[in-house]
Amino acid sequence: MEVNSFILWLTGLPAAGKTSLGRAILAELKSRNKKARHLDGDEVRAASPVKLGFTKEDRDKNIKLAIALADKYQRQGYIVIASFISPYREHREWGRQSLNSFIEIFVNAPLAVCEARDPKQLYKKVSQGEIACLTGVDDPYEEPLNPEINIKTSELTLADSVREVMNYLENNKFI
């Protein structure tokens, strides 16, 4: 029996490929006539009524907002794809405890690969002293211990990454 609504929680370093993968999964689900929404960390942060920085306290607030939004959409029957760095294991555990059918996807790319990709020039800005508290550089990223899916974006194409996720969903009767 197929599960109608579930959460795909994509976590990983900045520039690991979370947003690209999330958007590609969304397109694949929609091509299969599934009701799905994509929540992106930058968009949720920008839409927050409170200006959030990158302190631990602000990151906690941002993740709690993300979980609340994911819950809202899930209750409306959507498959929710959430692309958030969510650097702390406790953040992802909050999601697992608060949301139904939570599937953690580790968008796994080595720091050197993320630095080379760097579409927002974040790593460059850190090295130039323009910003601080970048996850994986001067702020911690706690890798998932037991993610349901581990996508090595430095080794797989985007299409292969989507196929890995869809295979998991099919094999586990989510779709």
Digits of tens for pLDDT over the chain (175 positions)? Answer: 455 789 999 999 888 999 999 999 999 999 999 999 999 977 777 766 677 667 778 888 888 989 999 999 999 999 999 999 898 999 999 999 999 999 999 999 998 887 888 777 666 666 666 666 656 556 778 999 999 999 999 999 999 999 999 999 999 999 9
CATH number corresponding to 7-171: 3.40.50.300
86 catalytic per annotation: yes
In single-letter form, the type of residue at position 68 comes to: A
How far is it between the farthest Cα atoms of the chain? Answer: 53
Whole-structure pTM value: 0.89
Catalytic residue among 83, 86, 154, 161: 86
